[in-house]
Every structure is written in C-alpha cells, then in structure tokens.
Structure 1
Amino acid sequence: MDAGRVDTSTIAGVQMLRLVAALAVLVHHAEGIGYHLGRYRGVELARADVMLTGACGVDLFFAISGFIMVVSAQRLLGTQRPRLVFIQHRLARIVPLYWLMTAFTLGWGWRFGPPFDLATTVHALAFLPYAPDGMPALKTIPLVVAWTLYYEMLFYAIFAACLASTMPTTVRRVLIALTALVAAGAVFDLPQPFAFWTEPIIAEFAGGMVIALAYERGIVVKCWMRIALLAAAAALIFATDYAAIGTLNGWDRTLTWGVAGWLILSAVVLGPLRLPAMRLWSIGGAISYALYLVHMPLMNAVQFIWRHFRWSYGPWQELVFVVGTMAASILAALILHRAFERPITQHLKLWLNPAAR
C-alpha cells in the first residue's frame, strides 16, 4: 500500500487483517493435518468445528487484495506504462517466494513421493490450472495452498488490462470483466482452465475494490455500525457448515464467507481504528504471505517424520503437533520474509523499474 495516500491507522488495520487471515488458514490446516495424522496412526480424534472455519481466511485475503490493488495503484495513474509497472510489481511480489516453496515441494515429491511430471510442474510455475484426463485442477497443484494464487494472478491480469486514467473507471471495467467471467461459467459447461477461472469466488475481489472506492471518497461508518458489521460477519462465518461449502467454490461460499470478508474489511477501514502495538501488526502483516506459503510444506514434513518413526498419537500429541507446527511456521515465515522475500522483492522491483529509485 502507498503510505503517502493512506493514513497509518488504515495501514495497520489492513496489516492486522492480513495476519488474521493467514493465521485463520494456519489453524485450519494444522487441525486438518493433525486429525488425519491421528487417523493414520489408528486414532479417531474429535474434530474442533470452530477450527474448520479458518478456511474463510482465504475469502478475507481476496477482499483485502481487491482493496489494496485499488489503493496502491492510485500512484500509477497518469504515469508512463502504468500497466507494465503494475504487472512488474505484482510479479516481483508474488513469484520469487512462490517459486521457492514450489521448488521445495517438487523436490520433496521427487525424493519421498508422489513425484510431479513435467506438465504439472510447468503449469504450476506459470499459475495455470491443469486438469489432465478430467482430474480436478486442485489435485494437480504441487503446493496445495497455491490455488488461491492462481486466482490472484488472474485478478492482477484483469486489473492491469482494465487500468484507466481514473480509479472509478478502472474498477467499473474490472467489475464488468469479473461479472462476464462468472456469467460465462454459470451459462456454459467450460473445459479447464476456463472452468477454474469462472468460479464465483473471483467475485470476492470486487467487494474489496468497491470498499476501496468508498474509502478513497472519505466515507466513514459510525462505530456502532462497524461493530454490527463484525457481528454479522461472525454470524456468517460460524453459522456456515464447512462441509457444505467444501474446499471451493460456488455461490454458497461467496455469499457467506465472501460477504463476511467484505464486512470485516469495511469495519476495519471505513472509520478510525486504534491498535496497540502497531509495529507488531505491521510485522505480522508483512510476513503473512510467507506464512501462507510455508506452513503446509512444514506441516507435511513434520507429519511425515511422525509417521515414519511411528510415534504415539492421541489428544495431547495432537495438541503438541498443532501448536508446535503453528509456532514453527510463524518462525519460518519471519526468517523467510527477512532473509529472502523482502530483499529479493525490493531488488526485482528496482531491476524491473529503475525509475523507482
């Protein structure tokens, strides 16, 4: 986000939401992997339904992404080659760490199985859905959580193509494009990758963009209304049956968790917000992308070791697995962000756009 155009409380609020979204997904996956590790060891443990709802962190991420693109792209309006600069910055931000974690996953599969073929690898590195022989596209993604990045990259491409001289015009164009894609998916029985790209979940970016326009116009929502928005979001999240929604997509998810993401984002950015320890929230938001990418490989490696040595497993061991892998994921994300993600992103942005110096 462009700190020159956004007040510090909004930046802190968005960073807080990025961390919350990443932690929600982290909890969801830690519980799921811990539960299935127990089943592998012959133990059927009770599941914590509240942890299953952590999958809604993805929907919050999509709303945040729509908001950030509108606010951060403001500084590109009226400059030379804004579309190219926008894409360059997005690629520098997303690709290096994703390729690193995908390479780790591919190497793990080559050594311990299952190995991934060349076509799967190429599609994964290019963020392209791949469905050989009618296989679901989600099943062919080496780094499982990266399915969301496929949608993010689609959104960035549309946003860049629709970039206009004013942001309201840009948003209108993107909304039309997203609506057309979702409508095409609803009307036609499309093959992959088009079936993947036309799921209703892509509409969740739209809400974030509209909220950003409201923010740019100085719209402020009263405190009691923002509290009501948060309460409504909580009701949508916790009253929704995760099993009914499934991993993706469809209107059931967008009209519940997607709307909840919009409500949460609106409550945070459309009004003054005072957060204690703002620097900690800033750090947490900064490492959220690394945390999102690193936690699944780390958890899978730990459960592989647990299974290999046939360690005992029960409720207490599950707690140790869940808490331990979550803490290790946060530490790994902090190290990855500072040692790899941040320096290489800054270097690439300057290399791709020397004028940014």
Structure 2
Amino acid sequence: MQEKKTIQSIQALRGIAAILVMFYHKKDTFIIQGKNYGECFFGAGAMGVDLFFILSGFIMMMISKNNSPQKLFNFTSVIKFWINRFTRIIPLYFIVTILFYLSVWRGFNFLHDPVSLNNLEKTFLFIPLNGRDIAPFYGYAAMSVGWTLNYEMFFYGLFGISLLFGKWRWYFFIGLMLCNLILIPTILKGYFSLDAMHHYHFTYGYLNLITNPINLDFLLGILIGFLIFRNNTWKIGKIWSFICLILSFIYVVILYVTRWDAMHGITRWATPIAIFLFFVIYTELNYGLRVPIFLSYLGKLSYSIYLIHLMMQYWTRSLFVHTKLSMYLNTPLYLIVASIFTIIIAIIFQYLIENKLSNYLKQILIKLCRI
C-alpha cells in the first residue's frame, strides 16, 4: 500500500461536504417559475454532516497509527493533541460566531440581551443550547451550524483521554464510546437506540449529546481506518476495487437524488457514505485516483466555508435589499452571489485565521506548556 502524506480524496470529500451543507441551507432560494428546484437539488445536502463526522474518525485513526505514544499515561502527547485540535477549531469558530452576532444584531446590542449572552456562553463551552430540543441538534448553537462542533469537541476530548492508554488507546476509546451509547441508555432507560434522531430525554442536557447514536459516525470512520491500515490478510483486486467504488458512488447518488430519508446517523445517511468512503480511500491508496485540483482546494477551505456560509447568506441578503434587488432573493442569482462571496471570504479567513492565527496560538500554547 502506498503511504501518502495527504490523501487527496479526503480533501476533495471535505470540500464536497462543505458545499453540500452550504447549498442545503440555501435550498429555499432556488425558485424558478414558482417551483423550488433547491429542494430537488439540495434537499439531501445535510448528508455532508455525516460525511464530516466519518472523515473525522478516519483522520484520527490515520494520524494516530504512527504518531501516538505506546507508553501509558503520556500526558505530553495528550496536551499536544488537544492544542493541535483546539487551535484549529476554536479561533475561527469563535470569531465567526461573534461576527455573525454583530451582523444579525447590527452591532453590540446582543450584549443587552440575556438570552443571547447565555446562548453565546453555552456555544463557547460547546454545550447544546437546549438538551431537551429535537435530537441530535438539541437547540443547535448561537450560530446554528455550531451544533456539529459540540460533537466534534466531545469526540476529540475522548480521543485525547484515550491517548493516555498508549497502545491500548483504541480499546479504551471504543469501549468508552460504546459505554456512552449502549450501557448508559440501557441502565437509565432500559434500552438503547441506533437512530440519531431518537431522543432519550435525559434531565441533564449534555447527557443526551454524549449518548446520541450520531457519535457512531466517528466510529465508522475509525472502522474504515482499521480495515485499510491494519488489514494484512486480504486485498481487493484493482478491477473489483474500481467496480465497488463506482457502484457505491451510484448508490449514494441514487439515494441523494431520491432524497432518501435525508437525515443523520448510521440508520440513515452515514452507512452508505461510509461504504463509498472506504472504497474511495482504499482505491486511491492502492491503485491511485486523480482528484481535481479545485476539489482539493475546496477541501482546504472546507472548515471556513462551513462556518461562514450562514453569515455570508445574511450579508448577501442585506446587500440585495439595500441595492433594491430584493426581487431576486429567491432566485438562482442570490444563490450564485452568496456562494461566490462565501468562497472569497473563506479564502481570506483560511489564510488569516485558520493558518496564521491558529499556528501562532499553537506555538504560544506549546511554549507555555513546555512541550
């Protein structure tokens, strides 16, 4: 198997996931002659979230297979891992959330609103706004797309702790995750569910998040990593690998076009996505795949695109209203302009915040922690 520093198909799929989510949130603005084509084309775009989660699990498996400590209780490796992850996620998320609030509230008026301040506090602590609300969103976040980062941070928190167990880290991590998803619900409710849309209605809101089956998406990504990197007993031939890749792609496309139960979790979108993802990565690593450069670049911008697209949607709407173009708000023109603005600002934010600021903060924290 060819070892590569970057698996280009992963970058491309990250970009596709971000674009799918962006268009999903703009699906009501693609109306032609009274028909909502946005619902037809982008109604299943929420699948991008499951794709992100599965990729996160796979990436953690990939980067840890050679870089994780074998000794027990290596706290330095845990701190370094958390610094790398948190400086990658938090700066951009916090900045975009504040900018979003400034845009919606037209200034600092939100500072005088207790509900908004409480929402910001929970958001910055990665706590769902309302643990009793619809699963798996649980009230979303101050900026709605932030609900997914609550799960990401929980995943990275558990994964960091598992590094303390050295070569046994995966046994600990998978055991702890299954304890959350199976044992806790069974003890407290008498059953467990695999449906990410199921709500246990625990009194403590955060308990609903850590027991939600959508966390199995991360385990699917880890499973893909195990099958690809730790398999020495079988190999899929080149022809069969490409056949399976094509068939799994067609399967996902059919599900997308027919808008098959377009929601989250392994009982819905995650499983067909995981099958396709396995064959994409396996085929690239073993036989090579040509990935268009623009898709790889979109993958580089994916986090910025994902976070800022709602804010850019709001800015574009305001622009259309103030320039007397409001009659085009529910047309493809609005969709195109908002998407272009999103890409442009994403390029700027990726360079200034994801790259420069995050790396600067990472170096400061590494020096402070003396690691």
TM band (smaller chain): 0.7 to 0.9
Which structure 2 segments of 5+ residues have no match? 190-199
Asked if 1:268 is matched to 2:280, the reply is yes
Q: Cα offset for 1:232?
A: 2.9
Cross-structure match for 1:327? 340
Write the distance in 1 (CA, Å) between the matches of 2:328 and 2:98: 33
Partner of residue 193, structure 2? none
Distance in 1 of aligned mates of 2:82 and 2:140: 26
1:63 equivalent in structure 2: 54
Q: Does residue 19 of the first structure (1) align with residue 26 of the second (2)? A: no
Amino acid in structure 2 at the alignment position of 1:313: M
Once the two structures are TM-superposed, the CA of residue 124 in structure 1 deviates from its matched residue by 0.6
CA distance in 1, matches of 2:140, 2:148: 14
- CA separation in 2, counterparts of 1:11 and 1:135? 38
- Determine the C-alpha separation between the residues in 2 that align with 1:322 and 1:336: 21
Q: Which residue of 1 aligns with 2:166?
A: 165
Aligned-residue Cα RMSD (Å) equals 2.9
Task: Select 1:49's aligned residue among 40, 50, 61.
Answer: 40
Q: What corresponds to 1:229 in structure 2? A: 248
Q: Structure 1: any 5+ residue segments left out of the alignment?
A: none
Given the alignment of the two structures, is residue 142 of structure 1 paired with residue 142 of structure 2, yes or no?
Answer: yes
Give the C-alpha shift of residue 327 in structure 1.
1.5
Distance 1:182 1:237 in 2: 28
Assess if the C-alpha contact under 8 Å between 1:131 and 1:193 holds in 2.
no
Partners of 1:324 and 1:69 in 2: how far apart? Answer: 35
Contact map agreement 2:18 2:302 (CA 8 A) in 1: yes
Which has the larger helix fraction? Answer: 1
The equivalences for 1:52-201 within 5 A come to 52-74=43-65, 75-78=67-70, 80=74, 81-111=76-106, 116-131=115-130, 138-139=138-139, 141-163=141-163, 164-166=165-167, 169-183=168-182, 184-185=184-185, 187=189, 189-191=201-203, 192-201=205-214
Amino acid at match of 1:66: G
Instruction: Give the drift of 1:309.
Output: 6.3
**Does the 8 Å CA contact 2:68/2:166 hold for their aligned counterparts?**
no
Output the amino acid matched with 2:166.
Answer: S
**Hey, what does 2:311 align to over in structure 1?**
297
Question: Shift in Å at residue 145 of structure 1?
Answer: 0.7
Query: How far apart in 2 are the matches of 1:281 and 1:108?
Result: 30
Letter in 2 for 1:224: I
Q: SS at 2:317's partner residue?
A: helix
1:286: Cα distance to partner? 1.4
Q: Distance in 1 between matches of 2:249 and 2:320?
A: 39
Partners of 1:120 and 1:265 lie apart in 2 by 35
Larger mean CA deviation between 142-151 and 338-347 belongs to 338-347
Deviations 1:9-37 (A, max 9, x none): x52111111111111111111223x26xx
Deviation at 1:151, TM superposition (A): 0.5
Contact map agreement 1:76 1:82 (CA 8 A) in 2: yes
| TM, length-normalised to structure 1 | 0.83
The letter of the residue matching 1:283 is Y
| Conserved? CA contact 2:12–2:291, under 8 Å | no
SS at the partner of 1:129? coil
Matched, 1:347 2:356: no
* Cα 1:276–1:154 shift into 2, 3 Å: closer
| Equivalent-residue separation in structure 2 for 1:102 and 1:284 (angstroms) | 22
Counterpart position of 2:194? none
Q: Following the alignment from structure 2 to structure 1, what is the Cα–Cα distance between the partners of residues 124 and 54?
A: 24
Offset, 1:140: 5.5
Q: How does 1:275-294 map to 2 (within 5 A)?
A: 275-278=290-293, 280-294=294-308
CA offset at residue 172 of structure 1?
3.2
Deviations 1:144-164 (A, max 9, x none): 111111110011111112223
Is the contact between residue 233 and residue 259 of structure 1 (CA under 8 Å) also seen in structure 2?
A: no
Change in 2 beyond 3 A, CA 1:185/1:305:
farther
Q: TM-score, normalised by structure 2?
A: 0.80
CA shift digits 1:234-288 (9 cap, x unpaired): 344444445xx55xx5xxx43221112212210211123322544x444321111
Q: Is the 8 A contact 1:138 1:144 kept in 2?
A: no
1:22–1:57 CA contact under 8 A, matched in 2? yes
State, as a whole percentage, how many aligned pairs show the same letter.
Answer: 22
Count matched residues: 333
Q: In 1, distance between residues paired with 2:178 and 2:40?
A: 33
